[in-house]
Amino acid sequence: VSLPSVRELVQAATRDLLAAGASDNLDDARLEAELLYAHASGGTRERVIAAGGEAPDAAALERFGALLRRRLRHEPLAYILGRREFYGLTLEVGPGCLVPRPETETLVEAGLSAIREHPNARRLVRVADAGTGSGAVALAVARHAPSARVFATDASTEALAWAGRNRKRLGLIERIVLLAGELLEPVPEPLDVVLANLPYIPTEEFEALPPEIREWEPRLAVDGGDDGLAPFRALAVQLPAHLAAGPVAVLLEVGAGQAGIVEDLVHRVLDGREAVTARVHRDLFGARRVVEVRAGY
Q: Contact, 91 vs 83, CB < 8 A?
A: yes
Nearer to ligand SAM, 137 or 291 (CB): 137
Return the closest-CA partner of residue 147 out of 170, 171, 169, 114: 114
137 in contact with ligand SAM (CB under 6 A): yes
Helix 136-144 × helix 104-116 angle, to 10°: 40
Q: Is residue 12 within a helix (H) or strand (E), and if so which, with residue range?
A: helix 6-19
We find the least distance from the C-beta atom of residue 204 to ligand SAM, in angstroms, to be: 18
The binding track of 179-208 with respect to ligand SAM, each residue x by CB under 6 A or -, is ---xx-------------xxx---------
Q: How far apart are CA 89 and CA 183, in angstroms?
A: 24
**Residues belonging to the chain:** 297
We find the least distance from the C-beta atom of residue 76 to ligand SAM, in angstroms, to be: 13
Long-range contacts (CB closer than 8 Å, 24 or more residues apart) made by 265-271: 265/232, 265/233, 265/236, 266/236, 266/239, 266/291, 266/293, 267/293, 268/236, 269/236, 269/239, 269/240, 269/243, 270/295
Q: Which of 56, 94, 100, 255 binds ligand SAM (CB under 6 A)?
A: 100
In terms of Cβ atoms closer than 10 Å to its own Cβ (0-12, 13-18, 19+), residue 257 is exposed
Nearer to ligand SAM, 64 or 162 (CB): 162
Q: Which of 121, 161, 209, 220 binds ligand SAM (CB under 6 A)?
A: 220
Number of residues that bind ligand SAM (CB under 6 A): 23
Q: How far apart are CA 195 and CA 83, in angstroms?
A: 23
Q: Contact, 12 vs 57, CB < 8 A?
A: no
The binding track of 47-86 with respect to ligand SAM, each residue x by CB under 6 A or -, is ----------------------------------------
Q: Which residues contact 104 (CB under 8 A, 6 or more apart)?
A: 86, 136, 137, 197, 253
Window contacting ligand SAM (CB under 6 A); options: 2-10, 97-105, 240-248, 257-265: 97-105
106 in contact with ligand SAM (CB under 6 A): no
Q: Is residue 69 within a helix (H) or strand (E), and if so which, with residue range?
A: helix 58-72
Q: Contact, 86 vs 99, CB < 8 A?
A: no
136 in contact with ligand SAM (CB under 6 A): yes
Nearer to ligand SAM, 60 or 259 (CB): 259
Q: Footprint of ligand SAM on residues 6-45 (CB under 6 A)?
A: none
Q: Which of 133, 247, 255, 296 binds ligand SAM (CB under 6 A)?
A: 133
Nearer to ligand SAM, 23 or 153 (CB): 153
252 in contact with ligand SAM (CB under 6 A): no
258 in contact with ligand SAM (CB under 6 A): no
Q: Which of 94, 228, 231, 255 binds ligand SAM (CB under 6 A)?
A: 231
Binding stretches for ligand SAM (CB under 6 A): 98, 100, 104, 131-134, 136-137, 153-156, 159, 182-183, 197-199, 218, 220-221, 231
